[in-house]
Amino acid sequence: RGGFESASKSFNPADVEVDVAGRSFLVTGANSGIGKATAKEIARRGGTVHLVCRNKERAEVAKEEIVTETGNQNIFLHIVDLSNPKEIWKFAEKFHNEHKLNVLINNAGCMVNSRELTEDGLEKNFATNTLGTYIMTTALVPLLEKAADARVITVSSGGMLVQKLNVSDLQSESGPFDGTMVYAQNKRQQVVLTEQWAKAHRNIHFSVMHPGWADTPAVRSSMPDFYERMKNSLRTEAQGADTVLWLAVSAEATKLPSGLFFQDRQPVPTHLPLAWTHSPPEDEEKLMEVLEEFSQKFKSVSPG
């Protein structure tokens, strides 16, 4: 929290005091934590917000809260499990036919501390954080390509700084399983995805960010020891969401190049000084190829 408080002294409040009525935003993992805080702030500014959540009951409570607190009725709910690639494809296809989209916020994530497989035989962290983010984004890119001032923001984590991209073991099949490190690897993968997408789609502004360590339900449940040690100095959910909001609504954000990694409204390096975490371009290309293969495997050909 201290880091946020000192950084925020240089923020320009006018950057986020904008009216986004008529613009459409999709936020994944929007029923709690940073996703919900972001959705609420966009709703306050008049945006149409699509909440994509896995748990129907919790999602309905979150939607109700956002509508009540902001007075904005243009809040829509979609129930999708982001660890299920077929479901994401199905959702994206339907969404494509029924809605427009200006801004995609990839916020949903999970940190499962033991190696669990989904019904498709995918390791759960990889399925949600990496493949889910990849499919959601690539499936919605054609819709974003048609929009004015289109943006994609992915919520990563500073934990990715301790990981070098590893394309040889995407599903953590070898060696002991450490959920925290698997999560950090997924978050490194999201940074690489963002850089690659920025090169491929010039008329969409891509960014990835670290929200700082915030007091969210996800941190409490997946990192209980860290939470107990740090709870008095964690950021609030709104502080964690501040840079997501800034990247989603401010005119300032898109003056900066596409593909950067942000913390506290500033682009920051994606590697620590003298780090061993840089990967060769062929590894980054390999990641894109493997994810594309996976994604096509789960894309069902719809009748007609």
User: Which residue carries 């209980």 as its tokens?
Assistant: 224
Nearest residue to 118 (alpha-carbon basis) of 129, 107, 108:
129
Which of 4, 25, 91, 183 is catalytic? The answer is 183
Instruction: Give the three-state DSSP class for 51.
Output: strand
| Contact between residue 208 and residue 190 where contact means Cβ atoms under 8 Å apart | yes
**CA–CA separation, 194 and 212 (whole Å):** 19
What is the layout of strands, in order, in the sheet containing 103-106?
75-79, 48-53, 24-28, 103-106, 150-155, 204-209, 260-263, 266-267
Structure tokens at 108: 């949903």
Residue 103 has phi, psi (to 5 degrees) of -135, 125
Q: Quick one: DSSP state of residue 127? A: I
Q: Quick one: DSSP state of residue 81? A: -
Q: Is 183 a catalytic residue?
A: yes
Position 88, amino acid: I
CA distances from 192 to 79, 186, 211, 248 (A): 28, 10, 18, 20
Just list the catalytic residues.
Answer: 183
